[in-house]
Structure 1
Amino acid sequence: MSEADGIVDLMDVPQHGEDEISREDLYEMFIPDILNGSWSFLEDAVILYSYNVDFHPSPADRTYKPFSLFVKSSLPLEAEKLEFDLHLAKGRSVMTRLIPTGPVAFGKDEILLAENFHELCLRVILDLSDFVSELVVLGKNSNSCRLSTLAFYLLLPVTSEGSHRTVLIDWITIKRCLTSPIFRGPTNPTEKESDDLIMLANGLRSKRDVENSLVYVPYKNEFFFVANINYEKNGHSFYKETGSSTFAESLAKMYGICLKCPEQPLLHVKPLFHLRNLLRNRKQEQREAPKLYEHFIDLPPEVCQLKILEFSKEIGSSLSLLPSFMHYLEKFLLAVQLKDRLASSFPEGTQVTASRVLEALTTEKCKERLSLERLKILGGAFLTFAVSWHLFLLHDTLDEGQLTTKRSNTMNNSTLFKLAIRSNLQGYIRDQPFEPSLFFALGRPCPNICNDETKKGLHFSHQGNEKAKTIRCSRGHIWLHKKTIVDVVEALVGAFLLDSGFKAASAFLKWVGIEVDFDASYVHYACISSSQFMPLAELLDVSSLEDHVGYKFHYRGLLLQAFLHSSYSRIAGVCYQRLEFLGDAVLDYLVTSYLFSVYPKLKTGQLTDLKSVCVNNRALAHVALERNFHKFLIHDSDAFSNDIKEFEEYSTKPASVRSSLKAVRCPKVLGDLVESSVGAILLDSGFDLNCTWKVVLSFLEPIMSFSSCHLSPIRELQELCQSHNWALKDSSKKDGALYYVEVRVIGEDINELAFSTNLSKREARKTCDRNLFLELKSRGYMKVKSLEEVIEHCEKMEPKLIGFDETHIVVISSDLEPEGSSWQSLKENQSPRADLFPKRKEPVTRTNATG
């Protein structure tokens, strides 16, 4: 299906709650426009654009027959420059690339020959059993086959006689293959015996015909490429697998085959390969040098049936690569197509590469060397940050809870899913590994014809059956989880962020349907309005607080607001929570940017674990204590003071002492202070993220060493159980205000139980998991590799603030100083009057944060 056929009206998309987002639906996948639709036969010549498929094996252990790709339109420039590795067994790989060689004219007879040869190749590598018979018909039902063919292109052998930038189709090889006996039916060979002839299972054939041919051996039920004739061996030579019997004796004894011409030289043959997915993320199972030789055996000619002339092992080597190559090329062309579609919608996105877009469209289920997982984390963090800043500035009267609700409604999974469907993104996604047996192209159409009448029977008759989900049809339908579509949206945000920056990522979000831009006046207003908190300066040493924060404020009211708790009774309805809302999102993005850039090889789960280590409430609480933020907290709660003091005393004790004490609850307010400070700095700096980045790095420097990575007890126990294939079971019940939680670990030699009671079900679960983990650890059970070990041995780069390309807003202005009367109104326990501050002007046009 072309993407134009797949436009979906958002009104037609069903509403889905968060509990339904994991469900699967059936979607039709797009085919690149450049491959969609057949060429015309109305004219005397068919003009196709040619591209040499260049193979560079490592190690250079075998020869590949040159092949060229022929398509009806020229490929986009990025596709012409495409290079990627195909990974074979035993550590071998082949770097493949395309070289444009210009248009080629095919006469009507030539295009028929080309299509028949293309069909021949596909059937040999995918439907080999067809060639056991004595007759194979090519081109049968060619017109009906075209109707069920998704992608139109030809792969043909070429000669190496032309220059690097020209193409000479190897018509001699093509015609020789197509005149093979199997395509003409059984005949009685008329050749007379001579030294140039050799006796095969299906008659006398010239040695020239036999060399570089494809033969079938019935007693083995296998096909072989004939490399050459081995004149040093015959039927009386020893069969190497036994060492004591000759070929003739072994065949007679094991299979009852009696050679009539045992004096004939043997055929030196190579087994026909089994087609494999060469895009898989293969890990070399054994650390051994790649094998530098091909596997050959010798066979008596009399047991071989000649099938296809001139079908050499070099052709076979190339054909073993081409399906994987074409599968990747199709995906890449689709990524180019989406990239061009997006770039035409917003010019900020022109710098993103097709390779990055392809990464964002490829899920981990494809089992390839790239997937959207890391981009999804980066894009998700930016999405949260961008939506948060937009809502914070747009809704200056909403509290943190209301802002959080609005943010959830704006970017929850259900909303993102509906926006993705409306934007028609689902057809670009690739969510299944390449399965060679289901490779369909011109000459090998999909047998499952899908239309309005057959669709239900093909895809819905066995709903719930996992095998039914793998059925491929002529329209390319696949089952997709709704969450997968959401992940792709976030990954595309990450792709634009990584290659093009904030402006492109924001433009993509706007294209999808999420507005995140704001007017500079909103930032001015937020800064000026903070003057209402200046009377609080009498309560603390603001300069000292700035020193502890590590930043000098232009608008000190923002700093005071960042340390104002809601319990402070002399100011009603305002506190640090709005800044905390903004700072939490900023901090999350900056930490994600740090980890993404510093650890380029870390897996998604490991990145998530590290982020949890950095920004969990306990880690941030230690930052607050280290910087003495708690001493500047403006509040009216003795309970807070006691909780903070107790936690501070506990935290300053040596680890050996803490391990023997009951864990002390971490006051949330400490982490809140760090987040609200970050939000205040971002506003005061005019949304200068570079400035905020430097301060945040100084905050988190002690944590970023990851010298002691403590995951949550729940995660620690889960990973330990996964390492040892143990089952982890839990149960809970509530008795009055208390939760009673049991957690059990069950394995081959393990059956451990822990239980706990708490007012919080989650805290009770954490206690159980912590106790179980420590017990199992004390008995010598460890994870395969701890997070500290992973970090210690992984590649580490310099930290980088990813994507920030904005010009900060100038927020300093001498005529915006707050009037003294507003200060007095606060002292009198009154809310400041709105008329004392400049009113925010609603902008006529929404612009980006460049001022």
Structure 2
Amino acid sequence: MVVTAAHSGKRFYVDCICYNMNAENSFPRKEGYLGPLEYSSYADYYKQKYGVELVYKKQPLIRARGVSYCKNLLSPRFEHSEAREGDFSENVDKTYYVYLPPELCLVHPLPGSLIRGAQRLPSIMRRVESMLLAVQLKETIDYPVPAVKILEALTAASCQETFCYERAELLGDAYLKWVVSRFLFLKYPQKHEGQLTRMRQQMVSNMVLYQFALNKTLQSYIQADRFAPSRWAAPGVLPVFDEETRESEPSIFGEGSIPGNEVQKDYDDDYTDSIQEEGEIDGDSSCYRVLSSKTLADVVEALIGVYYVAGGKIAANHLMRWIGIHAELDPQEIPPPKPYNIPESILKGIDFETLEGVLGMKFQNKGFLIEAITHASRPSSGVSCYQRLEFVGDAVLDHLITKHLFFTYTDLPPGRLTDLRAAAVNNENFARVAVRRKLHGHLRHGSSALEKQIREFVKDVREEISKSGFNSFGLGDCKAPKVLGDIIESIAGAVFLDSGYDTSAVWKVFILDILDKLS
């Protein structure tokens, strides 16, 4: 049952009738207050505070709790907190109860169960509306992916719901970078690494993805604002904010009720009028939304991520084509590997048996391996430096590591997942892998300064290894020479090419070593 208190206009759920209490009972002190009693009894309280002289002071008091504002049930704090209706009284703290004289209570025509259900309606309708948008987008894209996953990709962290697009965006970003890098590397064999990087930027920068999103009107599907139930209106009905109506006829959805114990705390009459859901925006923002260009770009990457999770490469490539990113090559369009004309003197100077033994792979085309270990400071006829291979190797390692972390640590929040990837995919970690594998000894370069840097770093790493329990993710005193991290990426590129564009071969050669310290 719901009653309206005649003296305050506030509504309460009736919990029980306290036959052992009446208006002549002593009024409790405020918590922590040790001074003289402010009110001698409940009757005295109502007379002094509200000017109401109770007539039936012997009537038992009603124990009740306030009808609260509509809560945002989509918020994480409500995910596992709903109590069973029969157990509700045991879960509510006693300070939330008030004691009311029956003569001041008017029975509300609506039952309490109906009001509780009505208060859930805004959150339910919000989820239904957002799911319908996800279903509509799914039909537009025309690929069988669960609509709930699409909704995840459309939901920003600013909504403060139980899911958001950030994890999927991390995966989609790495996959997009990999696919575009592979496409450019294979299509333009004469372009150097700097040109390829600029071309990739022109294809997948945030501003480019933002424009793709606008072209597909993704802004109309994105959920970016925290839901405010008190400002909800039924679909197709404009919200009405009439101050006079609000004061004279408070709604059951936004009822100004006491959230604490009325008889233990002295609240101003306008206290509850100022209550807002945490994070709720003041003012009517229903007519417009503000979305940053990065949010739209992130949603594109998140959609790629959820499609990759749901349907692998085929689904992700379908989404990329739909959005406007064309990065697939027909096998017949892929030019054959460039022929290497390597002088005999260079071949004799490389210990292929040891190097291939360290990598655990026998190269069919030795030219890939020679190019992967050749620095720009040592030009040789017939052998290019490793920068092109580094370009494609960086992308494949980033993709493989991100995919592994995403599917391994499924409960890890986005921020922690990003930190984990950053700990694995960085020059310091790669350089240490190169030293542990003794790849630095096979590097072909012509710089004495670089040689000195490598020697100092190798010494530093060996000291790190000798200290048990030392974290080797770039916490040493000696900064890793970039060239050592680069050759891990360039050799990864060489393995990818020599294996016939097989990313699993790269995984077998490097990933376990790269992730070793991470575990």
| Cα offset, 1:245, TM superposition | 5.6
CA displacement 1:314-361 (0-9 Å, x = unmatched): 112222322112112211221121112112xxxxx31x2111111111
Alignment of 1:326-341 (within 5 A): 326-341=125-140
* Aligned residue number for residue 421 of structure 2: 611
* Aligned residue number for residue 200 of structure 2: 407
CA displacement 1:606-652 (0-9 Å, x = unmatched): 22222222222121111111212122222333333333223222322
Structure 2: any 5+ residue segments left out of the alignment?
Answer: 30-36, 82-86, 242-278
Q: Structure 1 pair 411/573, CA: closer, same or farther in 2 (3 Å)?
A: farther
2:376 is equivalent to residue 566 of structure 1: yes
Structure 1: any 5+ residue segments left out of the alignment?
Answer: 1-211, 344-348, 449-466, 706-851
| Cα offset, 1:267, TM superposition | 4.6
| Partner secondary structure for residue 421 of structure 2 | helix
- Alpha-carbon contact 1:364-1:372 (below 8 Å) kept: yes
Distance in 2 of aligned mates of 1:662 and 1:626: 15
Bigger share in strand: 1
2:86 is equivalent to residue 299 of structure 1: no
- Alpha-carbon contact 1:235-1:246 (below 8 Å) kept: no
* Aligned residue number for residue 356 of structure 2: 546
| Cα offset, 1:499, TM superposition | 1.3
Distance in 2 of aligned mates of 1:654 and 1:234: 74
| Partner secondary structure for residue 369 of structure 1 | coil
Identity, % of aligned pairs?
35
2:152 is equivalent to residue 362 of structure 1: no
Q: Calculate the TM-score normalised by the size of structure 2.
A: 0.80
* Aligned residue number for residue 500 of structure 1: 311
Q: Name which of 290, 306, 316 aligns with 1:479.
A: 290
| Cα offset, 1:683, TM superposition | 1.6
- Alpha-carbon contact 2:340-2:383 (below 8 Å) kept: no
Distance in 2 of aligned mates of 1:662 and 1:597: 30
- Alpha-carbon contact 1:399-1:577 (below 8 Å) kept: yes
* Aligned residue number for residue 232 of structure 1: 19
* Aligned residue number for residue 167 of structure 2: 374
Alignment of 1:706-745 (within 5 A): none
* Aligned residue number for residue 678 of structure 1: 492
| Cα offset, 1:415, TM superposition | 0.8
2:3 is equivalent to residue 215 of structure 1: yes
Distance in 1 of aligned mates of 2:500 and 2:227: 49
- Alpha-carbon contact 1:218-1:303 (below 8 Å) kept: yes
- Alpha-carbon contact 1:335-1:358 (below 8 Å) kept: yes
| Cα offset, 1:422, TM superposition | 0.6
2:508 is equivalent to residue 704 of structure 1: no
| Cα offset, 1:473, TM superposition | 5.5
- Give the structure, 1 or 2, with the largest relative contact order (CA under 8 Å, sep 6 or more): 2
Bigger share in helix: 2
| Cα offset, 1:675, TM superposition | 0.3
Alignment of 1:403-802 (within 5 A): 403-441=196-234, 445-447=238-240, 471-472=283-284, 476-521=287-332, 525-526=336-337, 529-533=338-342, 535=344, 536-571=346-381, 574-654=384-464, 663-705=477-519
| Partner secondary structure for residue 420 of structure 2 | helix
| Cα offset, 1:293, TM superposition | 4.5
Distance in 2 of aligned mates of 1:427 and 1:595: 32
| Cα offset, 1:510, TM superposition | 1.4
| Partner secondary structure for residue 404 of structure 2 | helix
Q: Structure 1 pair 354/252, CA: closer, same or farther in 2 (3 Å)?
A: same
* Aligned residue number for residue 258 of structure 2: none
Distance in 2 of aligned mates of 1:249 and 1:649: 84
| Partner secondary structure for residue 567 of structure 1 | coil
Moved more, 332-341 or 289-298: 289-298
| Partner secondary structure for residue 385 of structure 2 | coil
CA displacement 1:444-483 (0-9 Å, x = unmatched): 63248xxxxxxxxxxxxxxxxxx99865456x42111111
Q: Calculate the TM-score normalised by the size of structure 1.
A: 0.50
| Partner secondary structure for residue 320 of structure 1 | helix
Distance in 1 of aligned mates of 2:183 and 2:282: 42
Distance in 1 of aligned mates of 2:149 and 2:171: 13
Distance in 2 of aligned mates of 1:217 and 1:239: 21
- Alpha-carbon contact 2:373-2:444 (below 8 Å) kept: yes
* Aligned residue number for residue 798 of structure 1: none
Q: Structure 1 pair 235/418, CA: closer, same or farther in 2 (3 Å)?
A: same
- Alpha-carbon contact 1:534-1:556 (below 8 Å) kept: no
| Partner secondary structure for residue 397 of structure 1 | coil
| Cα offset, 1:416, TM superposition | 0.9
| Cα offset, 1:691, TM superposition | 2.5
Amino acid at match of 2:7: Y
Distance in 1 of aligned mates of 2:141 and 2:341: 44
Amino acid at match of 1:278: L
Aligned residues: 462
Q: Structure 1 pair 442/505, CA: closer, same or farther in 2 (3 Å)?
A: closer
Moved more, 587-596 or 295-304: 295-304
Q: Structure 1 pair 493/442, CA: closer, same or farther in 2 (3 Å)?
A: closer
Distance in 1 of aligned mates of 2:499 and 2:506: 8
* Aligned residue number for residue 134 of structure 1: none
Distance in 2 of aligned mates of 1:253 and 1:585: 75
Amino acid at match of 1:679: G
- Alpha-carbon contact 1:579-1:680 (below 8 Å) kept: yes
Runs of 4+ in 1 over 6 A off after TM superposition: 467-470, 655-659
CA displacement 1:364-416 (0-9 Å, x = unmatched): 11111111111111111111111100100111100000000101111111111
Amino acid at match of 1:313: G
* Aligned residue number for residue 322 of structure 1: 121
Q: Structure 1 pair 266/538, CA: closer, same or farther in 2 (3 Å)?
A: same
Q: Structure 1 pair 601/283, CA: closer, same or farther in 2 (3 Å)?
A: farther
| Partner secondary structure for residue 517 of structure 2 | helix
